[in-house]
Chain A
Amino acid sequence: MATATNRMLGHLGDSVERLEDPPLVTGKGRFVGDINFPDQLHMRIVRSDHAHGKIISVDTSAAEAVPGVVAVWTTENIDDVPPIDFREGSDPTLALFRQYPLARELVRYVGDPVVAVFAEDPYTAEDAAELVVIEIEPLPVLINADDPPQDFKGQATTEAAIVEQGYGDIDTTFANAFKVVEIDVKVSRHTGVPMECRGAIGRYDEARDVLEMYGAAKVPHRNRDTLCRMLNRPASGLHLFEGHTGGGFGIRGELYPEDVLVCVAAMRLRRPVKWIEDRREHLMAANHSRQQRHIIRAAVAEDGEVVGLDDELYLDQGGYIRTHGTRVANMTTGTLPGPYRFPVYRSICHFRLTNKTPAATYRSPGRCESTFVRERLMDAVAVAMDMDPIALRRRNLISLEEMPYGRALDVLGDSVEHDPGDYAGLLDQGLAQIGWDDLQKKLAKRRANGEMVGAGISMFFEKSGLGPSDGAKIFVDNEGFIEVVTGGASIGQGFETAMAQIAAEDLGTDYRRIRVVHGQTNRIDYGVGAHASRATVLTGTAVSLTAQAVRAKALDMAAELLQTSADSLTITDGVVHAKDNPTGPSLTLGEIAEALIPTSKLRGDREPYLKGEEWFHIEHQTYPYGHHIAVVKVDPDTGGVEIEKYFIAYDIGRAINPMMIEGQLVGGLAQGVGGALFEEFTYSETGDPQAVTFADYLIPTLQEVPDPEILLTEDFPSIRTPLGIKGAGEAGITGAAGAIASAIDNAIGIPGAVTETPVSPQRLKKILSEHGK
């Protein structure tokens, strides 16, 4: 069967090419900007240029007078539309802080949508938008989440919530500690910056009473549900459609004011309404993320065991609470202990609004921040205890014997149950591969010669496969083509390829014969999209179970037709044949499908069609793990940092397509390097955003991002999924800032020097000069 094997590409574990790439690399992609409908209008948003203020008046008359302008809306035109609700359902304790699609009474950040202009073309819409006059009475601006909270609408303060998690007796533990080590560290404001900005097209089909939104991404089904709730429409009369998506990273595809506006406008103006975001808007209007300050202390025993961890943090949520509610606070406090035992733990998050762009999730939310903070602390403990940083970490890692390891912590409504994994074992493998001991000697020698070079490590555990459930449908047509219908989403990560590979494994066919549907709410009732590194874990397992059911049905039908037992049959390259006789009597999947059509006399009492629909319910999330190692060189004269070498070790459990996983790790690292060294949203004292172009918001280029060495292991398949799959989407970023910060400390010979990201040349130069270097 050598020839058949060659033709049957793309089973589990094969680094095959991506199914989705041919249209993307030949200019045939269909992104939201490529989608147009006859008679469509174009929407332009007029945004607040005040960070905080009371809306005194809005004069739209000049804009309305511009030829080609069809409507100009303020919040009064849509006073029946509620604020944008939370994805996980209504939450009365947070409801007050939600954002209306157009600002009502107050503006709360520069970029807050105030007016929507609808015109025949985008130029006219932008011309008219400039003529809108908004009078704002300024109110005091709150920039820092660690400053005292202010009043919020006379009904609350800007401290919208306090999220606390922990276990054990903190006071006693710290009172009895051999040593207490405290640090005060900050993570700056970053965001995902997908290559494609946001966009949305609303279209109302009066003939069928169906409202449609194009440009959906990430969580189309969840957004449909929220829109149905907000607009009082049945799910059968509101559909979202995902096209090609130029990156998501958590920020693209949430339900934003503009999405609601195009839907409402399409119904009321009775014409399709298109909105395409420009980059300047994107950097002030799409979700930001990350900004936190942690004051954290460790109680340490004499042998280096960290017996207690006590954290207080200030999370800068920005102007409103968007679809995620307090999710980032929950994940930060729920994952802060990471791969270490920490028998006593407490984290208190002050979840506070400020007058900046609203914040939410961005690739590795909560873990990226908490890993930086925790690994900074572990380095500080090592210094305080005069221990080697690797030895200190080893002393505290959860051991394989303790697995699965549960903690009384909540992450996304799920208690933390570490999958079995050998954290110390992977550390051994990683250090051996990179030649850690030899590296230390070489770096010490170079430092002795005057160079500022150093290495640092950051260990982490990830969470992936957010449940609880996902389903899939598979249909095989009479020609043997296979359609896999999912409620997943493709944001560029290779979703179609992964699903096709999983289905191909059980259906015994080439993955290229499989068409994967995602992000279309009219094709499947349920879906949870692509987020939280869950698509391959959850949707992939549902596809696998469905493929197994379809395979069983195909073999059952074939057994009757071939007058043998199903057990004796197998499928090779879409052909069912006897296991022990590949060239004997056979049937193609298409022929079997034909035997199963409703009118077929061969079908017997089987359900019509060669198809299946199965569900997968996961008990807990899965917990992959790994570490990052960075080697850097600091230029003491400029404060510049060059990453000389980078290493990522990661246990994925079961790799569906190793090439795509490496792509995820490399891409994540690029964003991790951005956060560690380059990217930062800064604001003036009056709340003016200072990074609204790529000249000021510095995403790293290929020149600045190292090509990492990757150790991808499959040593510990997850016990939560039948295929052992754990997620891959976020591990490339999670450890980056911690490893780079640690390496910089090591290079400049100042322990604990880096307390804040990004480590800009100016910041580093200041650190060096303060230490006389």
Chain B
Amino acid sequence: MKPAAFEYHAPTTIDEAVALLAEHAPNDGRILAGGQSLVPTMAFRLARPTHLIDINNVANLDKLAIESGALCIGATVRHAQFHTPACDGVLGRLLTDVVSNIAHYPIRQRGTFCGSVAHSDPASEWCMVAATLDATMIAQSASGERLIPAKDFFETVMTTALNEDELLREVRIPVLSDDTVYGFQEFNRRAGDFAISMTLVTYQLEGGKIVDPHVGVGGAEDRPRRIAEAEAALAGQTPGDDAFRAAADAAAAAIDPMEDHATNAQYRRDLTATLVRRALENAAS
């Protein structure tokens, strides 16, 4: 379990980093941030990048601040920085509730938010958060920057809209209004495991009716996404068992669950219905 040979680069500026990436990406050069996913796959030799461009020493990638109504999360911001709210209000609380489900404490000290999003494991909590809350990804390359909305970003298992020469410099999550309620549910066999299915829901109330519902599902399909059918089942409804069950059933019906040797599609579908219903109940309580 020793990685194949690679060349290591430690740039100190973004320009230098993206220049190195432009040069080496065609030969499977890769960005190294927290390394919590990449390094184990290298140890198994499932990944064998010829060049690693370590961005941990790059200046100004550790931004974690509200700008223009969005929480901006730089490329080297660690999971552990969300153990306490990264911003005031609902969004800060939501991210703190989610982060404890990500792997284990030591991994959260090193792994990064943007690294998870760029890695795009379908069971990544941050990917689901980004998809549910309509985050915007800032992709930086030697030729400039590009903004990619979450709905266009996650393509399939470990595949994103990032070009090979692009560094995911920052993720921006719109701040949630104070009247937003949310619920998060995840199910796995053991604490810290990859989710078999998970969901994040948010909505507001106007005149006792649900407005702007977001229902995101992760872990169940090949990518996290908002489930329009479930959202439609909620919009304009009074929060309660009828609406929640309708949304849960709609979500379960709408998804195309992954199957593997341990989990079949039917189980994931049933589980997703349960989790969506419970997340909505959490949001309402």
Contact = CB atoms under 8 A, between A and B. Distances in A.
A126 B191 CA distance: 33
Interface in B176-222: 187, 189-194, 196
A189 to B, nearest CB: 13
Nearest to A678: B189
Given A762-B262, A762-B264, A701 B5 contact: no
Interface string A627-641: 000000000011110
B192 A682 contact: no
Interface residues on chain A, size class: 20 to 34
A700 B193 CA distance: 11
Given A678-B190, A682-B262, A761-B267, 6 more contacts: A123-B5, A637-B274, A640-B187, A684-B261, A693-B44, A701-B190
Nearest to B48: A130
Interface in B243-272: 261-264, 267, 270-271
Given A637-B274, A682-B262, A700 B190 contact: yes
B222 to A, nearest CB: 17
Interface in A124-162: 126-127, 130
Nearest to A758: B189
Nearest to A703: B191
B270 A682 contact: no
26 contacts: A122-B2, A123-B2, A123-B5, A127-B4, A278-B1, A279-B1, A280-B44, A637-B270, A637-B271, A638-B187, A638-B271, A640-B187, A678-B190, A682-B262, A684-B261, A695-B194, A698-B190, A700-B190, A701-B191, A704-B190, A704-B191, A761-B189, A762-B262, A762-B263, A762-B267, A765-B270
A57 interface: no
A695 B107 CA distance: 15
- The dominant DSSP class at the B interface is loop
Given A280-B44, A638-B187, A638-B271, A760 B193 contact: no
Contacts of A695: 193-194
Interface residues of B, number: 23
A278 B189 CA distance: 24
Given A130-B45, A700-B190, A760-B189, A690 B261 contact: yes
> 6 tightest CB-CB pairs across the interface, nearest first?
A278-B1, A703-B191, A637-B274, A690-B261, A762-B267, A123-B2
A123 B189 CA distance: 35
Contacts of A560: none
Contacts of B264: 762
Contacts of B274: 637-638
Contacts of B192: 701, 703
Interface string A663-695: 000000000000000100010100000100101
A127 B196 CA distance: 35
Interface string A752-764: 0000000011100
A690 B44 CA distance: 15
A696 interface: yes
Nearest to B277: A637
A279 to B, nearest CB: 7
A122 B1 CA distance: 9
B144 to A, nearest CB: 38
Nearest to A130: B45
Interface of B: 1-2, 4-5, 43-45, 187, 189-194, 196, 261-264, 267, 270-271, 274
Interface string A687-719: 000100101101011011000000000000000
A130 B1 CA distance: 12
Q: In the complex, which of the residues B1, B187, B263 has the most CB atoms of chain A within 10 Å of its own CB atom?
A: B1
Contacts of A684: 261
Contacts of B4: 127
Contacts of B2: 122-123, 126
A696 B189 CA distance: 10
Contacts of A700: 190
A196 to B, nearest CB: 14
B272 to A, nearest CB: 11
Interface in A359-393: none
Nearest to B185: A638
B261 A698 contact: no
Nearest to A695: B194
Contacts of A122: 2
A765 B267 contact: yes
A637 B194 CA distance: 19
A638 B1 CA distance: 36
B45 to A, nearest CB: 7
Contacts of A704: 190-191
Contacts of A693: 44
B124 to A, nearest CB: 14
Contacts of B267: 639, 761-762, 765
A698 B264 CA distance: 17
A762 B197 CA distance: 13
B125 to A, nearest CB: 16
Nearest to B191: A703
Nearest to B261: A690
Q: In the complex, which of the residues B43, B190, B192 has the most CB atoms of chain A within 10 Å of its own CB atom?
A: B190
B57 to A, nearest CB: 25
B190 to A, nearest CB: 5
A279 B5 CA distance: 20
B190 A703 contact: yes
Contacts of B187: 638, 640, 761
Contacts of B194: 695
A696 B262 contact: yes
A244 B262 CA distance: 36
Given A130-B45, A762-B262, A765-B267, A698 B1 contact: no
Given A280-B44, A704-B191, A765-B270, A682 B263 contact: no
A279 B1 CA distance: 8
